[in-house]
Amino acid sequence: MSKYDEIINLPHHVSLNHKQMNLYNRAAQFAPFAALKGYNEAIKETSRETYKKIEISEEEKELIDMKLNYLKTTNSKEEIFVIYYFKDLKKAGGIYKTYLGIIHSIDEINKIIIFEDNTKIKIDDIKNITSKTLDYIFNQYNI
């Protein structure tokens, strides 16, 4: 005789006070849960890569200044393509981003380019700036 023989054939208990739980809610009791809330997000944040800012040469800085001066003096409304460094707000380093837009103004005091959609990029963070006109002019004169 096993230890469950006396209860194995008893009828299933049905409560008179509580309604029987539906299958969906019963199954939910056994669903996995996040014992460490935010753990997956922390792992994802830790694995996200950032990079050091690449220091550009004096010649490259001069070329960017020349291009910005050209754009400022001609008041060009042509779309320009900018590659710039964006400092990460959560950890050391940052990433390089690209932006395509039309310059609204250049703030020389704060060294910021302001675009028509109010995007602001620090001039010191620019790695490269180009457009069809800039490419044509600066390649024609081998600048």
Give the CATH number, domain containing residue 82: 2.30.30
Question: Residue 104 — very low, low, confident or very high, per pLDDT cuts 50/70/90?
Answer: very high
Task: Output 121 or 135, whichever has higher pLDDT.
Answer: 121
- 3-class secondary-structure state, position 109: coil
Q: Is residue 66 part of a domain?
A: yes
Q: Is residue 40 part of a domain?
A: no
Average pLDDT rounded to a whole number, residues 24-53: 83
Q: Is residue 85 part of a domain?
A: yes
Work out the mean pLDDT of the chain and round it to a whole number. Answer: 89
Question: Residue 107 — very low, low, confident or very high, per pLDDT cuts 50/70/90?
Answer: very high
Q: Is residue 73 part of a domain?
A: yes
Q: Is residue 103 part of a domain?
A: yes
Read off the pTM. 0.68
Which pair of tokens denotes residue 67? 């291009």
Assess contact for 115 and 102: CB atoms under 8 A: yes
Q: Is residue 97 part of a domain?
A: yes
Alpha helices by DSSP H, 58-130: 58-74
Average pLDDT rounded to a whole number, residues 77-95: 93
Assess contact for 121 and 111: CB atoms under 8 A: no
Q: Is residue 121 part of a domain?
A: yes
Radius of gyration of the chain measured on its C-alpha atoms:
32
Maximum mean pLDDT: which of 70-74, 87-91, 96-100, 132-136: 96-100
Domain that holds residue 114: 58-140
Q: Is residue 44 part of a domain?
A: no
Least confident of 18-27, 32-41, 131-140: 32-41
Whether residue 102 has pLDDT greater than 70: yes
Whether residue 16 has pLDDT greater than 80: yes
Structural domain count, the chain: 1
